[in-house]
Amino acid sequence: MSPTLASLAAQHCKPRKGAEHALSRGEAEQRLALLPGWALSDDGHFISKDFRFRDFHRTMTFVNAVAWIAHVEDHHPDLDLGYGHCLVRFNTHDVGGLSENDFICAAKVEALQVERAP
């Protein structure tokens, strides 16, 4: 059975080390199709999405929620933020690319109920 956005968000990250845990480009693209607005890098090593907000306060609320997800899951994204936006980028250094953990966390971020800019 193929994963869904809800089934990904319901999972928890597991320690994954070594190339055997890396997803193929096809597996990554299949999971990426579940994540609206997320993009796969040209080299296939990370996924990202730039979230937009009406103001800095909402941006920081989102950043704090993402930080909590990262803490609970022990899987940490790269964040680039400014007034009204936060770029979230996931990859798994220990596998040299993307793992299931990246898509689990991206699904959890996607499920956040925060007010975004239109």
DSSP run (H or E) holding 64: helix 56-73
**7-27 average pLDDT score:** 95
End-to-end CA distance of the chain: 34
Bridge pairing between strands 47-52 and 78-82: unpaired
**58-81 average pLDDT score:** 97
User: pTM for the whole thing?
Assistant: 0.93
Q: Would you state the CATH architecture of domain 5-9+18-110?
A: 2-Layer Sandwich (3.30)
Task: Tell me the per-residue pLDDT of 19-64, one tens digit each, with 9 for 90 and over.
Answer: 999 999 999 999 999 999 999 999 999 999 999 999 999 999 999 9
Query: Is it the case that residue 114 has pLDDT exceeding 90?
Result: no
Q: Which residues pair with 47 in a beta bridge?
A: 40, 90
How confident is the model at residue 113, as a pLDDT? 74
Measured CA to CA in angstroms, residue 55 lies from 40, 51, 76 at distances of 27, 12, 24
Q: Where along the chain do its domains lie?
A: 5-9+18-110
Q: Residue 92 burial by CB count (10 A; 0-12/13-18/19+): exposed, middle or buried?
A: buried
Task: Tell me the per-residue pLDDT of 80-104, one tens digit each, with 9 for 90 and over.
Answer: 999 999 999 999 999 999 999 999 9
